[in-house]
């Protein structure tokens, strides 16, 4: 996958040299190209922003510089053999939520172009312009406001990058993710343990030492359900009732009873 990032802080992306993403780049699975937005300015101060029309606080990023930058980066990618246009991703707190489903969708793309903004955002005509020519998404990574879109780009690249074939050693770890499609879809992952079997008096749940795969799978599902009920009850409300078996319904009922009595706990 080719990834281009245009930013006034290309140095912000140094973490992409590290760990899993660094290895994916070394192996040529992720082909990341960083660009300094100011390279497309024409004044001595390399100005990228201006005051907002209509007044108000802060500054807005100028459309001309973004237009020239995006056009040039598309041209570069095409010259390197990309035969389709990139998916343009503009991080903004007012975008559509970035979820595991969106990460899976982006992981299918051959080419992503990220345009992280600083200040109060990019002049809205930029997304309008490119939305007419290619697929342009305004995306939010959560209901909070960052100082700029760069951290959001790092989050999205890591979420997408680990889904690319050959990036994770064990293909099952993607299938078992919280939010991954499948029997555990929309359930948070439950607790995990490793050796020693007793640490500071805390014991590993016995069932995990039993070697009984059926019982372990059932226990894990119960724990996932209990954790989701405790942390994200709205996800449980959204579960497809037809996919819940009798045992699940009993776990939900028990949890709700314990909550009413004020005794609900994460792990037995
Ligand atoms: N830029 C600032 N805050 C953001 C957020 N929550 N998501 C994406 N981009 C942002």
The pLDDT of residue 155 is above 80: yes
Give the position of tokens 């020519």: 133
Give the pLDDT score at 265. 60
Q: How far is the CA of 183 from the centre of ligand 1 (A)?
A: 31
* Res. 171 pLDDT band, cuts 50 70 90: low
Mean pLDDT of the chain: 94
* Res. 184 pLDDT band, cuts 50 70 90: confident
Q: Confirm if 36 and 27 have CB atoms less than 8 A apart.
A: no
In the set 162, 191, 218, 248, the catalytic residue is 162
Give this prediction's pTM. Answer: 0.93
Query: Ligand 1 within 6 A of 152 CB?
Result: yes
The pLDDT of residue 117 is above 70: yes
Q: What is the pLDDT of residues 11-56, one digit of tens each?
A: 999 999 999 999 999 999 999 999 999 999 999 999 999 999 999 9
Sign of the CA dihedral with 126 first, then 131, 136, and 141 last = positive
Give the pLDDT score at 121. 97
From 7, 58, 91, the mutation candidate for ligand 1 (largest count of ligand atoms within 8 A of CB) is 91
From 117, 149, 150, the mutation candidate for ligand 1 (largest count of ligand atoms within 8 A of CB) is 149
Catalytic residue flag (residue 260)? no
Give the pLDDT score at 179. 80
Query: Ligand 1 within 6 A of 90 CB?
Result: no
3-state secondary structure labels for all residues of 8-64: CCHHHHHHHHCHHHHHHHHCCCCEEEEEEHHHHCCCCCCCCEECCCCCCCCCEECHH
Quick one: tokens of 98? 């970035």
Residue minimizing CA distance to atom 5 of ligand 1 = 93
Query: Ligand 1 within 6 A of 92 CB?
Result: yes
Give the pLDDT score at 172. 62
Catalytic residue flag (residue 243)? no
Residue 147 Cα: closest atom of ligand 1: 2
Catalytic residue flag (residue 71)? no
In the set 93, 109, 191, 232, the catalytic residue is 93
Query: Ligand 1 within 6 A of 145 CB?
Result: yes
């Amino acid at each position: 996958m080719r990834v281009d990032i245009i930013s006034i802080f290309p140095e912000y992306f140094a973490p992409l040299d590290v760990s899993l993403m660094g290895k994916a780049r070394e192996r040529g699975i992720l082909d990341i190209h960083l660009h300094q937005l100011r390279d497309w300015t024409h004044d001595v101060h390399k100005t990228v922003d201006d005051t907002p029309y209509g007044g108000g606080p802060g500054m807005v990023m100028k459309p001309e510089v973004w237009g020239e930058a995006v056009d040039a980066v598309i041209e570069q990618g095409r010259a390197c053999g990309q035969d389709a246009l990139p998916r343009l991703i503009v991080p903004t707190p007012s975008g559509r939520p970035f979820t595991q489903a969106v990460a899976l969708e982006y992981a299918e793309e051959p080419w992503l172009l990220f345009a992280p903004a600083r200040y109060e955002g990019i002049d809205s005509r930029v997304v309008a312009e490119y939305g007419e020519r290619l697929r342009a998404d305004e995306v939010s990574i959560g209901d909070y406001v960052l100082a700029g879109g760069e951290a959001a780009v790092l989050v999205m690249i890591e979420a997408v990058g680990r889904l690319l074939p050959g990036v994770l050693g064990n293909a099952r770890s993607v299938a078992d993710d919280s939010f991954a499609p499948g029997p555990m879809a929309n359930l948070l992952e439950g607790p995990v343990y490793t050796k020693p079997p007793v640490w500071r008096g805390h014991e590993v749940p016995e069932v995990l030492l039993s070697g009984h795969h059926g019982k372990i799978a059932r226990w894990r599902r119960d724990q996932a359900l209990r954790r989701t009920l405790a942390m994200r009850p709205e996800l449980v409300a959204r579960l497809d009732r037809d996919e819940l078996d009798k045992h699940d319904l009993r776990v939900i009922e028990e949890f709700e009873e314990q909550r009413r009595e004020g005794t609900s706990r994460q792990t037995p």
